[in-house]
């Protein structure tokens, strides 16, 4: 039993930190002392290797025997080739590790570490070498050469880099972002408006058949492309800009500003299908709420109110395509979009 008086000197004698007790003694495994266990492990490893070999052979048999004829045969071929490959590899792997863990020595060894820093002597030698090298080169005494070499080295990559980067963008015609096929009115794909001007016909995506205003029943949704798009040389690029979603709503629901009162026809409104956020197709229309939802990032647009954003990361409403009906009853675009479609970019408003 101790008291306060005994404690003080005892504390004074204690070291500041505990001492590392040192590595534990090696404990022998069952297989180290009893050869029967080692033999059993040896047999097990051999068995696993045999399974692996059989699996590899089986995989080749599957390759030769299983034809590719329909969905099921493709699936079976994939399954059996893969099982053979997988079990073949896994078998060797498991066997190797079991061998290492049970039959190879598990005596732990200790290796000294040395500091990363070099000893003083090699450091001094290295510094000396560098000093001599720099002196030999004469770079310190010849500042003209230093400047000339730096300048030449800095310029030399340019003949490689400039053509590489400059050619990446082809014609660099970024002004093309502003125009879509709706502004082009070739005779065969357009209809004549009452005022005598031509308008590109609206067509079904992907069939490319023109749409009559009378086909658009109340509440229906049309995925629309410019008529004749499929014949265009740059089909994908133009389609990526020109796709439109068209719905017919009760005209009483529509909120239309004065200047855009004639952009719709009998409650039929058409908006760009390219999201003003990062450009996904805004493809999900909710009949009940008249909301248009982008499946990529959930920007939600109100089709009754100028396709304004009601939720999500988009800022701007979808651009509206002004539509009318031509003398044959087909829906046509009265003009191109009045702003660039799709995601924002720096000089969009210029």
Partner 1 sequence: MTVSSSTPTARPSGEYRPSKAMGSTADLLDTRVGVAKAVKFIGRKIFPEHWSFLLGEIALWSFVVLILTGIFLTMFFDPSMAHTTYPEDAMPATHQGMEMSVAYESTVLMSWEVKGGLLMRQMHHWAALLFVAAIVVHMFRIFFTGAFRKPREINWLVGFTLLILSLLAGFSGYSLPDDVLSGNGLRIADGVAKSIPIIGSYVSYGLFGGEFPGEHIIPRLFTVHILLIPAAIVALVTVHLILMVVHKHTQYPGVGRTDNNVVGYPAFPVYAAKMAGFFLIVFGFIALMGATMSINNVWNYGPYDPSPVSAGAQPDWYMLFLEGALRLMPGWEVVIAGYTLSLNILIPGVIVPGLLFTFLAVYPFLEAAATKDQREHHVLDRPRNVPVRTALGVAYLGAFGVTVLAGANDLIATHFELSINDITWFFRIAFFVLPVVLFIATKRICLGLQRRDRELALHGHETGRVVQLPDGAFMEVHKPLTDEERWLLVAHEAQRPIEVGPATDRRGVDRPGYRADRIRHRISRFFYEDRVEPVTPAELAAAAHHGHGPETDGHPEEPHEIHGGSMEVTRPEAAADEQVEQPPSGGSIATLARGEKG
**Residues 73-102 interacting with partner 1 (rule: CB under 8 A):** 74, 77-83, 85-97, 99-100
Which of 200, 239, 248, 290 is in the footprint of partner 1 by CB under 8 A? 239
Please state, in angstroms and rounded to a whole number, the distance separating the CA atoms of residues 89 and 79: 15
How far apart are CB 324 and partner 1 at their closest, in Å?
23
Q: Which is nearer to partner 1, 216 or 245 (CB)?
A: 245
Site for partner 1 in 53-72 (CB under 8 A): 63, 66, 68-71
What is the Cβ-side half-sphere exposure of residue 232, based on CA atoms within 13 angstroms?
22
Which of 202, 307, 314, 321 is in the footprint of partner 1 by CB under 8 A? 314
Q: Is 332 helix (H, G, I), strand (E, B) or coil?
A: strand
Site for partner 1 in 184-213 (CB under 8 A): 205-206
Query: Which residues does residue 301 pair with via DSSP β-bridges, in sequence order?
Result: 292, 309
Which of 128, 237, 250, 262 is in the footprint of partner 1 by CB under 8 A? 237
Please state, in angstroms and rounded to a whole number, the distance separating the CA atoms of residues 29 and 315: 69
Q: Which is nearer to partner 1, 63 or 214 (CB)?
A: 63
Q: Which is nearer to partner 1, 113 or 255 (CB)?
A: 113
In terms of Cβ atoms closer than 10 Å to its own Cβ (0-12, 13-18, 19+), residue 336 is buried
Q: Which is nearer to partner 1, 144 or 166 (CB)?
A: 166
- How far CA 287 is from CA of 125, 250, 281, in Å, comes to 81, 12, 18
Q: Is 40 helix (H, G, I), strand (E, B) or coil?
A: helix
Which residue matches tokens 């070099």?
Answer: 118
Which of 107, 144, 154, 155 is in the footprint of partner 1 by CB under 8 A? 107
Which of 33, 104, 152, 156 is in the footprint of partner 1 by CB under 8 A? 104
Q: Which is nearer to partner 1, 36 or 113 (CB)?
A: 113
Site for partner 1 in 275-294 (CB under 8 A): 277-281, 283-284
For position 156 contacting partner 1 by CB under 8 A, the verdict is no
Nearest to 246 by CA among 299, 210, 198, 193: 210
Q: Is 237 helix (H, G, I), strand (E, B) or coil?
A: helix
Structure tokens at 67: 């034809």
End-to-end CA distance of the chain: 91
Total number of residues that touch partner 1 (CB under 8 A): 107
How far apart are CB 71 and partner 1 at their closest, in Å?
7
How far apart are CB 88 and partner 1 at their closest, in Å?
7
Binding mask 121-150 for partner 1 (x = CB under 8 A): ------------------------------
Q: Which is nearer to partner 1, 18 or 261 (CB)?
A: 18
Q: Which is nearer to partner 1, 42 or 77 (CB)?
A: 77
Query: Do 276 and 318 touch, CB atoms closer than 8 A?
Result: yes
Count other Cβ atoms within 10 Å, centred on residue 313: 14
For position 170 contacting partner 1 by CB under 8 A, the verdict is yes
Query: Do 191 and 327 touch, CB atoms closer than 8 A?
Result: yes
How far apart are CB 215 and partner 1 at their closest, in Å?
19
In terms of Cβ atoms closer than 10 Å to its own Cβ (0-12, 13-18, 19+), residue 324 is buried
How far apart are CB 132 and partner 1 at their closest, in Å?
27
For CA atoms 77, 81, 82, 84, the dihedral sign is: positive
Which of 193, 296, 305, 335 is in the footprint of partner 1 by CB under 8 A? 296
């Amino acid at each position: 039993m101790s008291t306060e008086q005994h404690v003080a000197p005892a504390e004074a004698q204690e070291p500041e930190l505990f001492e590392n007790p040192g590595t534990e003694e090696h404990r022998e495994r069952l297989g180290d002392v009893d050869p029967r266990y080692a033999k059993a492990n040896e047999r097990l490893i051999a068995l696993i290797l045999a399974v692996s070999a059989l699996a590899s052979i089986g995989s080749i048999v599957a390759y030769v025997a299983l034809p590719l004829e329909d969905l099921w045969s493709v699936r079976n071929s994939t399954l059996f080739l893969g099982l053979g490959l997988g079990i073949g590899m896994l078998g060797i792997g498991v066997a190797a590790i079991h061998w290492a863990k049970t039959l190879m020595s598990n005596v732990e060894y200790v290796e000294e570490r040395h500091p990363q820093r070099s000893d003083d002597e090699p450091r001094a030698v290295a510094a000396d070498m560098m000093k001599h090298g720099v002196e030999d080169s004469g770079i310190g005494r010849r500042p003209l050469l230093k400047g000339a070499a730096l300048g030449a080295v800095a310029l030399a990559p340019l003949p490689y880099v400039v053509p590489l980067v400059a050619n990446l963008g082809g014609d660099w015609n970024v002004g093309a972002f502003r125009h879509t096929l709706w502004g082009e009115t070739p005779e065969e794909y357009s209809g004549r408006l009452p005022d005598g001007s031509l308008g590109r016909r609206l067509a079904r995506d992907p069939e490319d058949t023109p749409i009559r205003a009378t086909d658009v029943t109340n509440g229906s949704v049309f995925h629309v492309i410019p008529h004749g798009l499929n014949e265009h040389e740059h089909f994908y690029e133009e389609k990526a800009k020109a796709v439109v979603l068209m719905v017919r709503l009760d005209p009483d629901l529509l909120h239309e500003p004065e200047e855009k009162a004639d952009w719709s026809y009998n409650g039929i409104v058409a908006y760009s299908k390219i999201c003003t956020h990062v450009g996904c197709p805004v493809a999900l229309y909710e009949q009940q709420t008249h909301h248009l939802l982008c499946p990529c990032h959930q920007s939600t647009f109100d089709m009754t109110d100028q396709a304004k954003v009601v939720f999500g990361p988009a800022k701007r409403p979808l651009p509206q395509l002004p539509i009318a009906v031509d003398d044959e009853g087909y829906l046509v675009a009265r003009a191109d979009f009045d702003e660039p479609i799709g995601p924002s970019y720096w000089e969009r408003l210029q």
